Chain A
Amino acid sequence: MNKKSLKLIYNNSLVGPSIFFALLFCIPLVGSNYTLAILTMIGFYALVCIGLTMLTGYAGQISLGHAAFYGIGAYTSAYMTATLELSPWLAILVGAFISALVALLIGIPTFKLKGYYLALATLGFGIIVYTAFKELTSITGGSNGFFGIPAIQLFGFEFVTDQSFFYLIWLFVFIALIFSRNIIHSRIGRGLRSIEGSEIAADAVGVNLMKYKLQIFVISAIFTSISGSLLAHYVSFINPTLFTANTSIYLLIMVIIGGLNNIWGAIVGSATYVLLGELLKHFVPVFFPNIGGEFEIVFFGLLLVLTLIYMPNGLVPQFIKIAGKFQKKERPAPISFTIDTQATGGEVND
């Protein structure tokens, strides 16, 4: 890990995010409603993935059950605003609180486990929560779904248009991004990076692994829950099939494709997933008129596999490399002192 990449990781300037979001917020002025809808969808996933990237990339934990938090946020908001007729913002808070609590309950016993076992535990937990959504019909409506979730509003302004929701969700994403970067650069973040380097060493130095992992898990659960709550208001109808194990898997896929080592991977990954779907929808019928969505599924799976084999660190590092090529030429390498140590074979260097 040379100095250059360290600088990239610890880049704490606000310039990057500000430019990005400034550009982003200009889009509603020129984009169609359809474009905005796609970008809004990306926004929902991005908010979830920011938390998940931190969890997977920085804390090294795999979660295959995050759809559960998504659903908890969504159903809490649905229930509290439609059935109990309370404020949507209160509902978002309550949803986040419940998710945080559940994350703590699941996290404490689970983080003692290693690698794959955590993935399985979260998978199991995710399915249990999904079953709860299906079975608690008086609250959630069960498989029939929950129809009629009211729009979210702030001081009388209702977020119903594509433009308004676009701004709303991406504002949340922006806040989440800044918040996450602050965490990464704080003691927690450094502690986590040390875990990623070597758990044993970190432990030896007194880094409290459990505490940090738990904190990140809870934070990721909160982000996901907030996204779920906003989703409920956006689509106005939710049902358990939105929060299955498959959903959790796709979220993880987005995170991996984007790149685990950089928080921007969350946005890149979500964008890739949604845009790829749209692209396939657009172009597959042109080349293969009689094939339906199945081909898209195959293509997506294959692409995923290929990407992971040949670009295991995800897309963001590739973009950084390309960006690097456009920067000023590198200064010639300084004269290097290399001591040739040929330890084997006893050959002498000429």
Chain B
Amino acid sequence: MKKTLLSLFLLMGALLLVACSSSGEGDASGTESSGDSIKIAGIFSASGGAAALGEPEMQTLKMLVDQKNADGGINGRKIDLVTYDDKSDQNEAILSMKKALTQDKVSIVIGGTTSGNSLAMLPLAEQNQVPYISVAASKQIYMNENGQARKWVFKMPQDDQQAVERILQYLKDNNLTKVAWLNVANSFGTGGHEEFVKHMENYGVESVIEDEFEATVTDAKPLLTRVKKANPDAIIVWGTVQESAVVIKNIRELALDLPVLASHGVATNQFIEVAGDAANDVILPTGKLLIADKLEASNPQKELLIAYNEAFTAKYNKPASTFGAYAADAFSIATKAIEAKGDDSAALRDYIEQELGEYVGLTGTFNITADNHMGLSPDSFAMVRIVDGKWTLEDK
């Protein structure tokens, strides 16, 4: 057994040398790739802590690339997609990015499931001058400290700020001025918290209590006793599916009969499945994917959303999510740019920033400009309420 194991190690070492040497060397600045295929990279957290977000993103991208190639590729050229799973680990994300940029020499990178990984990956995109479309939420990703757009970085999801502001608007419209804010203790949660604190006054909302719950929370009732004591008009629970489900279930169990608002992180059917009855009457902002069938026929997004939903569920046997939609939008925008400009990275970047114009995607209608590399406005969100296990439009 020892010998087998040892020879296994040596074999792997040999394979590694082969792998490394076969991929060329030297610096790359993302210029024309060899051969007739277009190279793009997808780097997502398909396993690890952020897998619930990253897996649908990865699957969506693969599905769309396959579809496109089956349709003949872009301008007759096949798309060569390299995907990397960074396992929700920042160092892995950096290494994958390096590999994609310097060895695979891709023309454009899509990915960075978590804000942390996106922030770690973007300096490499800037150094290597390759456009990078992020699928994470933080504003810092596409905007630097001076409020200017980072030249090589674009972002698909709405900012947390916009989601929070939709919630604040709803609170204001419904005269709920004293709220309890609870967020999950990770970067998704603290991102939302930061925006909440920054903007709540503008909407006349004050927080009577702000606290965190773990992503692994099993019973949030101790926390909720404090919430109950603080006597809020409404409770905001900002997290992704599993932990939000626990907290919201606990809220209903404690007979806290208050309006509960959640983040767009629970905008998936899986939430209803896990939370069960407690999911009813939860209100949240979401991209229009979930209520696609309720949109007016004139809404330009409707057809796209339904098509994506059907394709995804048919292929992967589970409901589509807004996270996958981010990857889909990134891909379709990248495709449009490649159709127009080929695979020169600098040209692609310029196209997306200057010539894309108004673009109807799954997440919303994008208006990317030199100053705004995200391009979505708050009305890309719809406020929905869960009624009887179904998504219904709350207003608009």
A contact residues vs B (CB 8 Å cutoff): 30-35, 37-38, 41, 134, 137, 142-145, 147-148, 235-237, 239, 241-242, 272, 275-279, 281-283, 285, 292-294, 296-297, 306-307, 310-311, 315, 318, 322
> B13 in the interface, Cβ–Cβ < 8 Å?
yes
A34-B23, A143-B187, A278-B95 are contacts. A237–B9 as well, Cβ < 8 Å?
A: no
> B48 in the interface, Cβ–Cβ < 8 Å?
yes
Apart from the given pairs A278-B19, A310-B1, 12 other A-B contacts in the complex at a CB distance below 8 Å = A32-B23, A37-B94, A37-B102, A143-B189, A241-B89, A241-B186, A272-B9, A276-B12, A293-B48, A296-B85, A311-B5, A318-B2
> B190 in the interface, Cβ–Cβ < 8 Å?
yes
B115: A residues at CB distance < 8 A? 144-145
A142-B190, A292-B58 are contacts. A33–B102 as well, Cβ < 8 Å?
A: yes
B12: A residues at CB distance < 8 A? 275-276, 279
**Contact of A144 with B138 in the complex, beta carbons under 8 Å:** yes
Residue of A nearest to B9 (CB): A315
| Secondary structure type dominating chain A contacts | helix
| A-B contact list, 5 entries, CB within 8 Å | A34-B99, A37-B94, A281-B96, A293-B85, A306-B5
A312 CB to nearest chain B CB (Å): 10
> B378 in the interface, Cβ–Cβ < 8 Å?
no
* Residues 23-62 (chain B) with a chain A CB within 8 angstroms: 23-28, 46-49, 55, 58
For the complex of A and B, 6 pairs with smallest distance between CB atoms = A293-B47, A293-B85, A32-B25, A292-B46, A143-B190, A33-B102
**Contact of A32 with B85 in the complex, beta carbons under 8 Å:** no
* Residues 225-283 (chain B) with a chain A CB within 8 angstroms: none
Cβ 8 A contact of B123, one of A38, A236, A239: A236
**Contact of B116 with A292 in the complex, beta carbons under 8 Å:** no
**Contact of B6 with A311 in the complex, beta carbons under 8 Å:** yes
A41-B91, A293-B48, A296-B87 are contacts. A279–B185 as well, Cβ < 8 Å?
A: no
Task: Give A278 to B13 CA distance when docked, in angstroms.
Answer: 11
> B92 in the interface, Cβ–Cβ < 8 Å?
yes
A32-B26, A292-B58 are contacts. A145–B119 as well, Cβ < 8 Å?
A: yes
B119: A residues at CB distance < 8 A? 145, 147, 237
B contact residues vs A (CB 8 Å cutoff): 1-2, 5-6, 9, 12-13, 15-16, 19-20, 23-28, 46-49, 55, 58, 83-92, 94-96, 98-99, 102-103, 115-116, 119-120, 123, 138, 140, 145, 185-187, 189-191, 194
Residue of A nearest to B47 (CB): A293
B44 CB to nearest chain A CB (Å): 9
Task: Give A294 to B27 CA distance when docked, in angstroms.
Answer: 31
**Contact of B103 with A34 in the complex, beta carbons under 8 Å:** yes
Task: Give A145 to B119 CA distance when docked, in angstroms.
Answer: 9
B46: A residues at CB distance < 8 A? 292-293
Cβ 8 A contact of B120, one of A237, A292, A311, A318: A237
Cβ 8 A contact of B95, one of A41, A272, A297: A41
**Contact of A145 with B85 in the complex, beta carbons under 8 Å:** no
Task: Give A312 to B332 CA distance when docked, in angstroms.
Answer: 51
**Contact of B120 with A297 in the complex, beta carbons under 8 Å:** no
Task: Give A294 to B55 CA distance when docked, in angstroms.
Answer: 11
Task: Give A282 to B96 CA distance when docked, in angstroms.
Answer: 11
**Contact of B91 with A242 in the complex, beta carbons under 8 Å:** yes
B145: A residues at CB distance < 8 A? 148
**Contact of B90 with A235 in the complex, beta carbons under 8 Å:** yes
B116: A residues at CB distance < 8 A? 145, 237, 239, 241
A294: B residues at CB distance < 8 A? 47
Task: Give A132 to B89 CA distance when docked, in angstroms.
Answer: 20
**Contact of B99 with A277 in the complex, beta carbons under 8 Å:** no
B120: A residues at CB distance < 8 A? 235-237
**Contact of B194 with A144 in the complex, beta carbons under 8 Å:** yes
Residue among B19, B47, B88, B91 having the largest count of chain A Cβ atoms under 10 Å: B91
B56 CB to nearest chain A CB (Å): 12
A163 CB to nearest chain B CB (Å): 10
Residue of B nearest to A148 (CB): B145
A123 CB to nearest chain B CB (Å): 16
Residue of B nearest to A38 (CB): B95
Residue among A41, A236, A239 having the largest count of chain B Cβ atoms under 10 Å: A239
Cβ 8 A contact of B16, one of A148, A237, A275, A285: A275
A146 CB to nearest chain B CB (Å): 10
A306: B residues at CB distance < 8 A? 5
B20: A residues at CB distance < 8 A? 32, 34-35
A274 CB to nearest chain B CB (Å): 8
B55: A residues at CB distance < 8 A? 292
Residue of A nearest to B145 (CB): A148
A147 CB to nearest chain B CB (Å): 5
